[in-house]
């Protein structure tokens, strides 16, 4: 058991190293010149050369990667090119805002999706199951930005219940923060609930054909009790995995939602960095997103091993 857990953690670390190389390489091969983008078209050749030297662009790419990775290991994400501010200090409050939005959506989405998925499995083929399938397919098929604009049109423009811009700041109270972040949280909830609902339903129904489930039915147990007490515990591993994946999406996939609602999170910060060609900011945001996704996936693997005894045995 301990060996399996350690192997999952090591694989997560190796994946993070590989992703960091890809992030650095992807930002390095972007077309255009960083110094020209930052200084503008009016910069003289001497100024451009001095700025490139200051940025270390005259050094080989692999040396710059090792310097960047070494700084990351010591908690130094670098300095923004546009305003010379420490990236870690700038990204921390924005990442907290993103975690708040993702947590707000997760608190609603996880129990709602699991509950509706179990309800759909209990009523397989009946109208609750058909309605859940139709709504989940519709939510999956529609792009998130379109859902966001529909919610803004209905609840912000027509009904004026919520603000169209989710602007939060440090001195804002918890209740007011919840109110302002309601529309982006509902948008994320609609997206991830559909995926988790369908996975929960499929996982439960895949267990229903097992012999011990048939024996439970032969004993005269009602379908709801068989699903809750016998099928659901054995279907927990894939459900835990899909919940972790969707929680990772809540953190990583908020970029579009934050841009639509002008929410001051890490996704909006990354888009600003891309617009200004501030590569250290883009690299730092990409690394934070990758770390969150890998960590949650590693936790999902570990939880799957813990809840499913069959995964603990080596094949």
Q: What is the pLDDT of residue 23?
A: 82
Task: Give the model confidence (pLDDT) of 83-103 as tens digits.
Answer: 778 888 888 888 888 888 888
Instruction: Provide the pLDDT for residue 33.
Output: 61
Residue 34 has pLDDT above 80, yes or no: no
pLDDT at 235 exceeding the cut of 80 = no
pLDDT at 109: 85
What are the tens digits of pLDDT across the range 274-293? 777 777 888 888 888 888 88
With 80 as the cut, is the pLDDT of residue 242 above it?
Answer: no
> For the residues of the chain, what is the DSSP string, one character each?
-HHHHHHHHHHHHHHHHHHHHHHHHHHHTSSS-HHHHHH-TT--HHHHHHHHHHHTTTS-HHHHHHHHHHHHHTT---B-TTT--BHHHHHHHHHHHHHHHHHHHHHHHHHHHHHHHHHHHHTTTSHHHHHHHHHHHHHHHS-HHHHHHHHIIIIIIIS--S-SS----TT--HHHHHHHTHHHHHHHHHHHHHHHHHHHHHHHHHHTTSHHHHHHHHTT--HHHHIIIIIHHHTHHHHHHHHHHHHHHHHHTTHHHHHHHT--SHHHHHHHHHHTT-HHHHHHHHHHHHHHHHHHHHHHHHHHHHH-GGGGS--
Q: Check pLDDT > 80 for residue 108.
A: yes
Q: Residue 88's pLDDT is what?
A: 85
pLDDT of residue 55: 67
Give 60's pLDDT tier (boundaries 50, 70, 90).
confident
CA distance 292 to 32: 30
Q: What is the pLDDT of residue 32?
A: 60
Residue 228, judged by CB atoms within 10 A of its CB (0-12, 13-18, 19+), counts as middle
Question: pLDDT digits over 174-194, tens only?
Answer: 888 888 888 888 888 888 888
196 vs 57: which has the higher pLDDT:
196
On the question of pLDDT at 58 being above 70, the answer is: no
Average pLDDT of the residues in 236-241: 72
Please give the pLDDT value at position 83. 74
pLDDT, position 42: 64
CA distance 283 to 47: 25
pTM of the predicted model as reported, rounded to 2 decimal places: 0.77
pLDDT at site 24: 81
Locate tokens 């998130």: which residue? 144
pLDDT-based confidence at residue 56 (cuts at 50, 70, 90): low
Average pLDDT over residues 121-140: 79
What percent of the chain is predicted at pLDDT more than 90? 0
């Amino acid at each position: 058991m301990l060996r399996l857990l350690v192997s999952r953690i090591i694989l997560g670390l190796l994946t993070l190293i590989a992703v960091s190389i890809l992030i650095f390489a992807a930002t390095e091969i972007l077309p255009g010149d960083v110094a020209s983008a930052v200084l503008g078209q009016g910069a003289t050749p001497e100024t451009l050369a001095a700025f490139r030297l200051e940025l270390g662009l005259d050094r080989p790419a692999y040396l710059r990667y090792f310097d960047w990775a070494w700084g990351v290991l010591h908690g130094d994400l670098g300095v923004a090119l546009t305003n010379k501010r420490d990236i870690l200090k700038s990204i921390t409050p924005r990442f907290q805002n993103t975690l708040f939005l993702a947590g707000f959506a997760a608190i609603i989405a996880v129990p709602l999706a699991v509950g509706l998925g179990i309800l759909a499995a209990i009523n397989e083929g009946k109208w609750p199951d058909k309605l859940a399938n139709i709504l989940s397919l519709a939510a999956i098929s529609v792009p998130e930005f379109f859902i966001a604009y529909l919610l803004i049109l209905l609840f912000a423009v027509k009904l004026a219940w919520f603000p169209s811009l989710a602007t939060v700041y440090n001195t804002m109270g918890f209740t007011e923060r919840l109110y302002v972040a309601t529309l982006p949280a509902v948008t994320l909830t609609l997206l991830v609930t559909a995926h988790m609902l369908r996975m929960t339903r499929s996982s439960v129904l895949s267990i229903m054909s097992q012999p011990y489930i048939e024996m439970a039915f032969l004993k005269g147990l009602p379908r709801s009790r068989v699903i809750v007490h016998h099928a659901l515990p054995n279907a927990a591993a894939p459900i835990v995995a899909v919940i972790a994946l969707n929680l990772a999406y809540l953190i990583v996939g908020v970029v579009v939602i934050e841009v639509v609602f002008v929410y001051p999170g890490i996704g909006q910060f990354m888009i600003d960095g891309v617009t200004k060609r501030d590569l250290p900011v883009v690299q730092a945001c990409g690394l934070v997103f990758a770390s969150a996704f890998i960590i949650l996936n590693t936790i999902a693997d570990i939880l799957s091993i813990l809840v499913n005894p069959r995964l603990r045995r080596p094949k």
